[in-house]
Structure 1
Amino acid sequence: MINLENFVKKYNGKPIDVDRLYGHQCVDLIKQYAIDCFGFSIGSFGGSAMTGWKNTINTFQKTKFEKITDLSKLLPGDIVFTTGSSENNYGHVVILLKVFGNGKIQVLEQNMGSGDGKGSDDFVKISFYDLNSKILGAYRYKESRIFTDVPDSHPFFNSIKWAKDNGIAHGYSDGRLGADEVLTVGRFLAFLENYDKIKTS
């Protein structure tokens, strides 16, 4: 399996057509993501991203995925569903890469809009969205997290795991590390002190 950062490097600018149906659709990106980053296939979306969001055919099994409807709780690696463009009613599904404090998110997507799923304009790409009413919510893969805000797909997962395993990073009392927050001088010095303790022990 690979992490989210390597998944982006591997597929950005390329077409993905996992199911060999209707060209490279947005759902194909998610299917490939599950295979590469979670280690299993999630199967059919039932014809559209919107059907996948409604989960009418149990694409996102409750034992493996958590449904997120509070948009303030979105994390990198989440599978985010939108109403799609005004040109279709199939909905759209993307992979969340980053949440910005200004109400914007960075996503990895394929075939947004009225594309036919066959042209180069429908290839995988990084885009920016407003965190607004077009976003319905997300599904999050339930994995054993080292911190609640650090999924296995986090680009610095291995470094963060090393820091936790070696007693350098302890995180907050609520289980978060704050991995994507601004690092204050105080927190940086705490990390250095923890590192010094393990180095001299």
Structure 2
Amino acid sequence: MNHISKEFFTLGWIGALMILAEYLCDFVLEPASKSLINEYSLINLILCFPKGILIIITWLFRAKGVMYLLITGLISQYVFHADEIDIWFFSSIIIFSTMPFIILEMFKACGIDMYQMPGIALRKQWRSIILLTFVCAVFNAIFHAQIMANKGVMQDTMILILQEVFANITGVVTCLILISIGARIVLLFQPRNN
């Protein structure tokens, strides 16, 4: 029973994190950028938390992370985008939730195990996360362009790839900065052993 409660606890905090990230992007950053700057602002791309969370959770939890992300992705998208539910909705959630895992496994098949890279200091592993983010962004953009084309909306694929790369990398970097700040705050309040 202890193992099951641990899994539900992990699913709960990942779900809360995804819902908070979606809320920040959809209801705080996007309206603020449209009202304060202009309608075509890229502020919400700069702080694209959900993309960063997808990659970091997959990097930490491997295949188990994909299941967490699929469940929480469906819940958070249903909460915030219930009016847009169709077959393309489900396919985009499946693609975006599984893409980091597929890319990590492709790297592993090529001889580069990027899962928490044993033997490398944790501080230096951010390079592998950025590389993973860049490759995921390219594949996500290609699949996103295909989904949009199937819906009848044609977009320039190169612009979509650049937007995805920009959003993914800034989302991951923002998440890493927030994790670093949170870790430093926790360390400040830890009692020191003399």
By the TM > 0.5 criterion, same fold? no
Q: Shorter-normalised TM-score: what interval? A: under 0.3
Q: Which has the higher strand share?
A: 1
- Give me the TM-score of the superposition, normalised by structure 2: 0.24
Q: Which has the higher contact order (CA 8 A, sep 6+)?
A: 2
